[in-house]
């Protein structure tokens, strides 16, 4: 048996090795170039971030900002402090607030028994506001607070008899359509009774003080000037409505009526 001969391995000549190295060189160079390019980009981005300029990889979605976030307020339930009562949104004849109290504040001399009352939240805010006004030399007087359905019916009838139904409907509410029935509305005047229930009340020191400060205590001037077609009533700078400080401030700063603020009108 002939011995098995191992295949001869051709030895690699030095020149052959050089040739292979030369063939590999372009690949190595290409890899090095890519590394340098990538590194340069990273360094560039890093220097931009260091200079206060950021290049976000993915744009951050921006939530739209909505004005007058009103969804948290209940404007439909009669017991709500933010209920909207008007000619299109009346109260039932039998509705009477269950937390009526008599506030500690000066009152009109011939005020009726009903009108001395307001809801507890209104009373607390009214007392605080009256004290703040007194500190500045202004005495607030409650001219009218809560009015029952029957009282409002009698008042409107008397006004309609005096000036006609159409005219009366511009300055007095029909029964069920009055905010006074909620116990959240008040008619105010100064201790001198100057311009009581008249538009000129706006020009008095008491009217001016209320216009500037009432919202801080949760009250708004409910029937604004120039908004008669929206509210259905003439401008009444003496008629204030309690809605809470947060909402009162927002509505006052907006210059809108409650109907506009809550988008009940176009």
Q: Where would I find the H helices in 51-148?
A: 120-134
Strand 118-119 relative to strand 185-190: parallel, antiparallel, unpaired?
unpaired
Cα torsion 48, 50, 52, 57: sign: positive
R_g of the chain, CA atoms, integer Å: 39
Query: 3-state SS of 182-248?
Result: HCCEEEEEECCCCCCCCHHHHHCHHHHHHHHHHHHHCEEECCCCCCHHHHCCCCCCCEEEECCHHHH
Q: What is the mean pLDDT of residues 103-126?
A: 97
Instruction: Look at the domain 100-261 and name its fold.
Output: Muramoyl-pentapeptide Carboxypeptidase; domain 2 (3.30.1380)
Tell me the CA end-to-end span of the chain in Å, nearest whole number.
Answer: 112
The string of pLDDT tens digits covering residues 231-260 is 999 999 999 999 999 999 999 999 999 999
The string of pLDDT tens digits covering residues 66-90 is 444 677 999 999 999 999 999 999 9
């Amino acid at each position: 048996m002939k011995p098995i001969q191992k295949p001869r391995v051709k030895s690699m000549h030095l020149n052959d090795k050089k040739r292979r190295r030369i063939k590999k060189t372009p690949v190595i160079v290409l890899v090095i170039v890519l590394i340098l390019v990538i590194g340069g980009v990273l360094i560039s981005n890093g220097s931009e971030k260091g200079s206060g300029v950021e290049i976000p990889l993915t744009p951050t979605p921006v939530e739209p900002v909505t004005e007058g976030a009103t969804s948290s307020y209940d404007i439909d339930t009669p017991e709500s402090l933010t209920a909207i009562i008007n000619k299109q949104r009346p109260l039932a004849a039998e509705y009477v607030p269950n937390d009526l109290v008599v506030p500690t504040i000066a009152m009109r001399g011939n005020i009726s028994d009903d009108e001395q009352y307001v809801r507890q939240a209104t009373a607390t805010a009214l007392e605080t506001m009256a004290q703040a006004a007194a500190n500045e030399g202004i005495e607030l007087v409650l001219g009218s607070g809560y009015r029952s359905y029957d009282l409002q019916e009698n008042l409107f009838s008397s006004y309609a008899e005096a000036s006609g139904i159409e005219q009366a409907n511009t300055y007095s509410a029909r029964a069920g359509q009055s905010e006074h029935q909620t116990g959240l509305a008040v008619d105010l005047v100064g201790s001198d009774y100057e311009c009581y229930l008249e538009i000129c009340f706006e020009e008095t020191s008491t009217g001016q003080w209320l216009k500037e400060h009432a919202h801080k205590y949760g009250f708004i001037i409910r029937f604004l000037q120039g908004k008669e077609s929206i509210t259905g009533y003439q401008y009444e700078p003496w008629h204030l409505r309690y809605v809470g400080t947060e909402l009162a401030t927002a509505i006052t700063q907006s210059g809108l009526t409650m109907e506009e603020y809550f988008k009940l009108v176009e």
